[in-house]
Chains A and B, each alone.
Chain A
Amino acid sequence: MRISSSWAQQANAYSLINQSAKVNKIQLQMSTGLRLTAASDDPVAAARIAVLNLNIKQTEQYQKNISVAQQRLGQEANVVTSAVDLVNQIKDLGIRGLNDLTGPGARTQIAGEMKALKDQLLGIANTQDQNGEYIFSGYKTKQPPFSEIPPTPSGAYVYNGDSSQRNLQISSGRTILDGDPGTNVFGTPTGLVGVPGSAANIFEAIDKFTADMAANTPNTKSLSDLQTSLDKMSTIQASIGARQNALDDQKNINDNSLLALKGSLGKDQDLDYAEAMTQFNLQSTVLQAAQQSYSKVQGLSLFKYL
């Protein structure tokens, strides 16, 4: 078979170029650590990788949402614990004051302490979070939940929030309520002076109790108002606790999910270095052989011997 000199040259040059290109490709893979340098290397895997990446980023966002929810519920739990503590203190004072042996002077003093505690309680009911939102106002978070109806002191309160609760997305199918309306924690105010035994709102109840105490006619029924309020608060505490558990559970589920997703992603996307190194060595050897044989063949010519 006859071959032409210029074709022999070209064919060798092509082969050198091709080997070179293969070595380059492996180098690129090794330097990026990725098996795919472009989607066309493996379109099916590329599509899978895109979906996995999205799911991972989405799950990570859900984890962030969970942190926000945990922080808010944590704050709410602390506030309710403090509130329970304050109401218990007021209850103790009340019991002392109701004792028939306590004199009017002592009762006036007790009334003063109870008022101070009530002011504290009102303050924490109107807690704001770091965004400046009132946590017990439902959706109307720019308004403090409870305010006394003027002219103060009137002993009558109004709830300025609403009954809505905000949802946060913690997984693709699951939301969690990040707070409770003030009326569920502190009772619905009537807007009138509280009636002992049926004062649902804790502030109206305490104000009435304090007024009676200062007037030396405390009513034992006021204690039952305080107890009702404590029961309400402990129900809320249980609910918050349940939600916090749910958040912990979901966080774990999300963590496991992330682990699995990242594992799958690694399988599709990461370069197997052991295999790549072997390929690289092989290709380099082939390239070297091609280069050496090229230079040897170029030296063969009849003209040298003429």
Chain B
Amino acid sequence: MGILATSTSGLMAAQRALETISHNIANASTDGYSRQRVEYGTKPAELTGGGYIGQGVNVTSVTRSYDQFITDRLNGSTSSFSEADGFSTMVTQVDDLVSNSTSGLPVALKSFFNLANEVANNPTSIPIRQSMLSQADAVSKAFNDMSTQFNGFRTQINGQMQTMVTDVNVMAKTIAELNVKILTDTRANGGQQPNDLLDQRDALLNKIAEKVGVSSITQSDGTVSVFVGNGLPLVLGLNSYAMSTAPSSSDGSHLDILINGQNITPSITGGTLSGALRFRDTVLDPAQQQLGLVAAGFAGAFNQLHTAGYDLNGDAGTAMFDVGAPAVVPASGSTGAITAAYDPANPGSLQASDYRLDYNGAAYSLTRLSDNAVIPIAGALPATVEGMTISVTTAPTAGQSSSFLIRPAFDAAFNIKSLITDPKLFAAAGTTGGSGSPIPGDNAAALKFAALENTLLFGGRNTLNTMYGKLVSNVATLAQSGQNSRSAQETLLNSVKQSRENLAGVNLDEEAANLIKFQNAYQASAKAVSVASSLFDTLIGAIR
């Protein structure tokens, strides 16, 4: 009977192998699948007078090809690549927007200054003045348009962040559920690994790594815990926690990411989420500040010249452009009200930065947020610094700290509009004979408007065009380095993916060869069964 049992065990073993091979073949294209193989062991041998007789083969387990090190590297690379990819995609969009040289802001500004020249050549011509006013409107609209596009990107990012957070939460919950299943399945059968569930969990981890950089630890009971940010748990054993988004207390247009009530935005690294945050902080916000600076500087400088000129009615010129007033946002818990206005005499002192006005209970202090420099204001308000005048409308409560965010550049491009529509009110003349007695042929002011194009505003170092040019350059450089980074990360990721695939991927030719091998093994064992049967027949025949 030994032969029958032994060869039957061979048949079963071959069968298990063939089942596993067909499982591999069927899942050759499944994402995250690790090829499985059957492990054999011999059955305990039986001691006879002639020695130990083997009793056949045992299927001990089905294992999957898996390497923890490679898997961790894969998740790390996936996070790095997704961050570079997310960043690069968004920066390229902004790059395309600002580097368009045939339309948009630089073209509108150029036409504006060309028309200023034409007015200087023909100061009494009403049609030319009308064109000039239309062009002033066009310039304002060009600023508005670009600012609106930037706001669109910001909305896009906020939407993306919310979607990603929701996705990660769903996946985290699923991982916790898988942890439960894997724990029960492993315990139930004395240690056999539920390979497909393990593969599923790994695939989910990789998907989370795409969205946000995480670190994972496999506990001794087979469950996996996932940590995000600076080690805050997303999945801890059998429980999952959810991330959430909330508007930032310091800047309402920003979203913060929270988990368990803690703000983890600054400590997120890796993943598309991190790429989006980096884009917002290093590309979008600075570009918006820079654009606003150009708008506010242009409006301020032009108004300064225009109000010093005289129009065709003999009156002094009025402001041509309006940029509103710098926004003031009190921090939560602050008392009192602060207002800020642009200083019409010093448009060149404006900076592309937000400011924080702190009240420590007794005196004020002003910090410029782009480089954290403290701006001296002698502790009291009103103060005229950096191109703006800051004053108190309602004093904050004494003895209590309050803090205010002041934004002179951020919204300027969105707010700018041109005010004058009557061509006679365009102040091209440098002198007047009094109200009602204009000097129509005087073009002295118009010559100054035309020369504004080449004037060094902005701290005496940059013209309007070089200031805008800096914006374009910054974005272009970041876009270029973003693309290079992405290519580099893609190569790294592909290399790690290849390592994993080399180890765990299914090779159809290999499976085909194994099919033949185990098919032969099955046939051989089947033949052994038939031999055992014929032996039995022979034995029975001998007794008859």
Q: Specify whether A and B are partners.
A: yes
Interface size class of A (residues with CB under 8 A): 35 or more
On whether A172 and B454 interact (CB within 8 A), knowing A40-B479, A166-B443, the answer reads yes
**B36: min CB distance to chain A, Å:** 14
Q: CA A138 – CA B483 in complex, angstroms?
A: 60
The residue on A at minimum CB distance from B126 is A131
Residues of A within 8 A of B483 (CB): 40
- Against A, the Cβ 8 Å flags (1 = close, 0 = not) of B442-465 are 111001001101100000000001
On whether A38 and B506 interact (CB within 8 A), knowing A4-B501, A142-B124, the answer reads no
Residues of B within 8 A of A51 (CB): 465-466, 469
Residue pair B508, A303 in contact (C-beta under 8 Å): yes
Given contacts A46-B472, A169-B451, 6 further A-B contacts (CB under 8 A): A2-B502, A4-B507, A46-B99, A64-B117, A64-B118, A164-B442
On whether A140 and B494 interact (CB within 8 A), knowing A40-B476, A43-B477, A172-B454, the answer reads no
Q: CA A77 – CA B412 in complex, angstroms?
A: 50
Answer yes or no: A167 CB below 8 A from chain B CBs: yes
- Against A, the Cβ 8 Å flags (1 = close, 0 = not) of B101-135 are 10000100010011001101111110000000000
**A163: min CB distance to chain B, Å:** 12
The residue on A at minimum CB distance from B115 is A61
The residue on B at minimum CB distance from A1 is B502
Q: CA A132 – CA B440 in complex, angstroms?
A: 11
Answer yes or no: A24 CB below 8 A from chain B CBs: no
Q: CA A217 – CA B421 in complex, angstroms?
A: 62
Residue pair A301, B101 in contact (C-beta under 8 Å): no
From A2, A11, A54, contact of B494 by CB (8 A): A11
- Which residues, 139 to 174 on A, are CB-close (under 8 Å) to B? 139-142, 162, 164, 166-169, 172
Residues of A within 8 A of B451 (CB): 169
Answer yes or no: B254 CB below 8 A from chain A CBs: no
**A228: min CB distance to chain B, Å:** 28
- Which residues, 40 to 66 on A, are CB-close (under 8 Å) to B? 40-43, 46-47, 49-51, 53-54, 57-58, 61, 64-65
- Which residues, 500 to 544 on B, are CB-close (under 8 Å) to A? 501-510, 512-513, 515-516
Residue pair A38, B125 in contact (C-beta under 8 Å): no
- Against A, the Cβ 8 Å flags (1 = close, 0 = not) of B467-479 are 0010011011101
Answer yes or no: B324 CB below 8 A from chain A CBs: no
Residue pair B124, A132 in contact (C-beta under 8 Å): yes
Answer yes or no: B136 CB below 8 A from chain A CBs: no
On whether A43 and B497 interact (CB within 8 A), knowing A58-B453, A141-B441, A301-B509, the answer reads no
Residues of A within 8 A of B465 (CB): 50-51, 54
The residue on A at minimum CB distance from B438 is A142
Answer yes or no: B409 CB below 8 A from chain A CBs: no
The residue on B at minimum CB distance from A6 is B29
**B211: min CB distance to chain A, Å:** 21
Residue pair B476, A302 in contact (C-beta under 8 Å): no
Residues of A within 8 A of B245 (CB): none
The residue on A at minimum CB distance from B484 is A40
Answer yes or no: A274 CB below 8 A from chain B CBs: no
Answer yes or no: A238 CB below 8 A from chain B CBs: no
On whether A131 and B122 interact (CB within 8 A), knowing A4-B501, A4-B507, A43-B476, the answer reads yes
Q: CA A46 – CA B110 in complex, angstroms?
A: 18
Answer yes or no: B431 CB below 8 A from chain A CBs: yes
The 7 closest A-B pairs by CB, nearest first: A4-B505, A141-B441, A39-B99, A40-B479, A39-B476, A7-B501, A43-B476
Q: CA A138 – CA B433 in complex, angstroms?
A: 14
Number of interface residues of B (CB under 8 A): 63
Q: CA A163 – CA B65 in complex, angstroms?
A: 97
**A168: min CB distance to chain B, Å:** 6
From A54, A137, A169, contact of B450 by CB (8 A): A169
**A192: min CB distance to chain B, Å:** 25
The residue on A at minimum CB distance from B513 is A302
Answer yes or no: A278 CB below 8 A from chain B CBs: no
Residues of A within 8 A of B480 (CB): 40-43
Residue pair B450, A47 in contact (C-beta under 8 Å): no
Answer yes or no: A239 CB below 8 A from chain B CBs: no
On whether A139 and B440 interact (CB within 8 A), knowing A6-B506, A7-B501, A53-B101, the answer reads yes
The residue on A at minimum CB distance from B503 is A2
A sample of 16 cross-chain residue pairs with beta-carbon separation below 8 angstroms, ordered by A number, consists of A3-B498, A4-B501, A5-B505, A7-B505, A39-B473, A40-B99, A46-B476, A64-B117, A64-B118, A139-B441, A141-B124, A142-B440, A166-B443, A167-B447, A172-B454, A301-B512
Residues of B within 8 A of A175 (CB): 447
On whether A61 and B114 interact (CB within 8 A), knowing A46-B99, A47-B473, A50-B472, the answer reads yes
On whether A54 and B110 interact (CB within 8 A), knowing A40-B92, A169-B450, the answer reads yes
Residues of B within 8 A of A57 (CB): 110, 114
Residues of B within 8 A of A132 (CB): 124
Q: Which of A138, A169, A303 has the largest count of B CB atoms less than 10 A from its CB? A: A169
On whether A7 and B121 interact (CB within 8 A), knowing A38-B99, A162-B439, A167-B443, the answer reads no
Answer yes or no: A260 CB below 8 A from chain B CBs: no
Q: CA A175 – CA B446 in complex, angstroms?
A: 13
Residue pair A68, B498 in contact (C-beta under 8 Å): no
**A18: min CB distance to chain B, Å:** 10
Residue pair B28, A168 in contact (C-beta under 8 Å): no
Q: CA A155 – CA B158 in complex, angstroms?
A: 83
